[in-house]
Structure 1
Amino acid sequence: MSQSRNNKSYTTSQIAEALFVVNKHAKTAPDPRELYTLKKEAIQQLLRKKQAKKIGLHFSNASKYSKQNSTLLVQVGDYYFHIPPKREDFQALQHLGEANQAYRNPKPSLSLSHAKRILQAYLGKNGQKPSNQNASRRSVPHSYQSSIYKPWGQLASWQDQPHYKKKR
């Protein structure tokens, strides 16, 4: 089924594939906050609309300080995701033990930018950029503070630098 750009109603399987791509890239991103926030909000909305299903709890294999933590296993279409559980999940859901490392989600065919567009459209955030401090810092050009950089025509000598030691 082909979706036009004007029709922003995506199938659950398309949203699941987009979630997988965003989650995969978030694991290796230098600043994954935006991607993980997108994943979290999309899964929460899918759960509210009954388009996703809570399966159970798994032991987390990325626990800090060797503490035993659990993650919530959620099924969206043919894909499975882990998210932090809420307090009520511990009473309502069965603990499944260790995660099955042999299971792999289906291979996606989406780019990260297309996956983000799908999730943003699903959440009603079309084209919105995150308003954080890092975005405003990136737009400011870098100015060098080192004393070795002088205006054109006024070359600095290494001997003029404070870190240069003269031989006696």
Structure 2
Amino acid sequence: DREIADIWFAFEKVYGSRDKALAASRKNSQVLLPFINSPETILGAHAALISIFGKAGAADIIEKNPGVLACDPQSLAKTSADEIRNAANFVATFDLLPENVKQGIPFFTWILLVGGIGSRLVACSGGACSSDQWDLKGGLGPQLVEFIKSSLPL
């Protein structure tokens, strides 16, 4: 398909070599899908990254996070360097996790959701529940940390 070939040529162009483009495509193949991306978006996002980080910095960002090449170039150009760098570092760190850990994340998320809903149902059993009984105590983040701590064996 011509559309996919054009996307690949743009992808290979921004990486500078077929080997680097292949390595990046193994990290995130969705960037190459025509219903998600286009050659113009890839080249535009890369140009935006170069304007923010310079050529070497842009190369570092796309190596860590190939998905950034599917971002709208105009929006990307308005995004702070720290936000882009933090996202790239997060993706790179996540990619280093063992495969079995990454595969367990959806299940762990499901357990947290079910646990949260279940604890709310228990707290509200008998219809005697008010919003005052569900104090978030600093927000959902601290509540998640507390839930995990209380769920771990001592």
TM-score interval for Structure 1 and Structure 2 normalised by the shorter chain: under 0.3
**Structure with the greater relative contact order (CA < 8 A, sep ≥ 6): 1 or 2?**
1
Structure with the higher helix share, 1 or 2: 2
Structure with the higher strand share, 1 or 2: 1
TM-score where L is the length of structure 1:
0.22
Which structure has the bigger radius of gyration?
1
